[in-house]
Structure 1
């Protein structure tokens, strides 16, 4: 018997990030932690991706440029901030670019 698993808001966010990053991106990890202020509540998400090979690295560089201004569509939530927090290039044993990003996602009022 298959159980129906409902997609949570974090999965919508992750799916859209991966779609923006393109098929060359490899998912490494995701974590989230609650966030709140006096007027807003939500989560801070950290996502790590890697891009292996010259073509993938070009796609990764495009992703880094596009992310901060990208409009995400997540039901009931607003992406208030999307920031690249780390980019690391390694040349050996093969060319790879590791990208870490942080996103602040707020509950829609």
Structure 2
């Protein structure tokens, strides 16, 4: 689980860095664009982290020979953390109306 979070954290950091160096190089992201991208990252994180959890449990289940499944396959906490990290790494417009 920790390795998944480290790898996924690096991916989130990389995506934010690429966006900062391309789309938001000249002008920072407006508040609406930053929030919209953060919400998108949240839902993508829920899907990616949940799939990783289910795949990990399936691999353990296959190796042990006993069906094991997660009690709650959704990783909402991790998705929230990575959406917050993405928002903090993103080059956003400061202050006032944007």
Return the TM-score normalized by structure 1.
Answer: 0.28
Which structure is higher in helix share? 2
Which structure is higher in strand share? 1
Indicate the structure (1 or 2) with the bigger Cα radius of gyration: 2
Return the TM-score normalized by structure 2.
Answer: 0.30
